[in-house]
Structure formats: C-alpha cells, structure tokens
C-alpha cells in the first residue's frame, strides 16, 4: 500500500463551522457552495451576533459545550455587531484560538483595519455573484480545511 492510499484511508472527522450571518440568501448560497465543493463540514448557522455568542459560550443545546473548528463571521449583524462578536471571541481564553474569518460585504478600510486589530484570522469580502461566492468558498476550503492545521 502506498502512502497516498494509506493517507486517503485514514479516518477523518468533518470540520465544524459556525456561520454567523443574518442574510438567509447568503446562508443558502454558502451552503450550496460548500455542498458543490464537497466540503466535509458540519455547518451551524447563527442568524445574529447574539445567537452566535450564545452558541459559542452556552452551547447550541443546554449543557452542550461546542466549539467550532472555524468561524465565518459577517460584520453587519443585528443585536450584536460582528466587530463586538469578534472582540468577545478573541478576548476569551476558551475561544481565542478558533480561526475567525470575517466574510462581509463591507469594503470600508476602517472595517478591515478594525477586524485585524481585533485579531481576525482573515478578512474576505463577499462576492456579489454566485460564481464569486463558490470561488471564495473554494479558497476557504482549500486553505482552511485542507492546508492549514487547525488547533485541536
């Protein structure tokens, strides 16, 4: 048995992704993009910043602690802004090492700067087309799910 065959046959677990996004259309498009790319992920969706923080710090079910492998975070969220969510994630010792990728429509340089000052791991602007979103999802899959080593 060669190395590639042995590696391919190793058991692996799906990557847990928390998507904090208030636009149902963007959620559906991203789900479709990952499905089309055959990304081995389990996607949980929070529809606003407060729900995202609740899932992270309280668990999706009572008494169920859950930490995703990656967080995809919109900035323009109701209830709690994406900037505030990012600040809380990165200031908490239990969640600060979770790679957090800002995925937003904001083109403002101030948002980019503030996100990186709050220790975002990446800042991606949402493409305006389905093909662009599939391409962005492919880049996320290629780097964060296949190349980078995620904290355990």
**pLDDT, tens digit (0-9, with 9 covering 90-100), for 83-92:** 999 999 999 9
How far apart CA 117 and CA 47 sit, in angstroms, is: 24
CATH of domain 13-129: 3.40.50.2300
Q: Would you state the pLDDT for residue 121? A: 95
The confidence score (pLDDT) of residue 46 equals 96
d(CA 80, CA 59): 17
| pTM, entire model | 0.85
98-142 pLDDT per residue, tens: 999 999 988 899 999 999 999 999 999 988 788 888 888 888 888
Q: What is the spatial distance between Cα 99 and Cα 120, in angstroms, rounded to a whole number?
A: 8
In terms of Cβ atoms closer than 10 Å to its own Cβ (0-12, 13-18, 19+), residue 103 is buried
Q: Which residues contact 19 (CB under 8 A, 6 or more apart)?
A: 27, 30, 43, 44, 45, 46, 71, 72
Q: What pLDDT is recorded for position 36?
A: 84
Residue 4 has pLDDT above 50, yes or no: no
Asked whether 98 and 67 are in contact (CB, 8 A), the reply is yes
Paired residues of 103 in beta bridges? 124
Structural domain boundaries of the chain?
A: 13-129
Predicted confidence at residue 148, as pLDDT, reads 81
The per-residue pLDDT for range 17-53, each reduced to its tens digit, is 999 999 998 899 888 888 888 888 889 999 999 999 9
pLDDT band at 61, cuts 50/70/90? low
């Amino acid at each position: 048995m060669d190395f590639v065959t042995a590696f391919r046959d190793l058991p692996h677990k799906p990557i847990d992704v928390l998507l904090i996004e208030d636009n149902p259309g963007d959620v559906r498009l991203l789900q479709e993009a990952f499905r089309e790319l055959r990304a081995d992920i389990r996607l949980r969706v929070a529809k606003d910043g407060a729900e995202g923080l609740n899932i992270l710090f309280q668990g999706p079910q009572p008494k169920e602690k859950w930490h995703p492998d990656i967080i995809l975070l919109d900035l323009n969220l109701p209830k709690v802004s994406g900037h505030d969510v990012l600040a809380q994630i990165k200031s908490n010792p239990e969640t600060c090492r979770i790679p957090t990728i800002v995925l937003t429509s904001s083109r403002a340089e101030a948002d980019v700067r503030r996100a990186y000052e709050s220790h975002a791991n990446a800042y991606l602007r949402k493409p305006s087309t389905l093909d662009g979103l599939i391409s962005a999802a492919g880049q996320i899959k290629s780097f964060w799910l296949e190349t980078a080593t995620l904290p355990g």
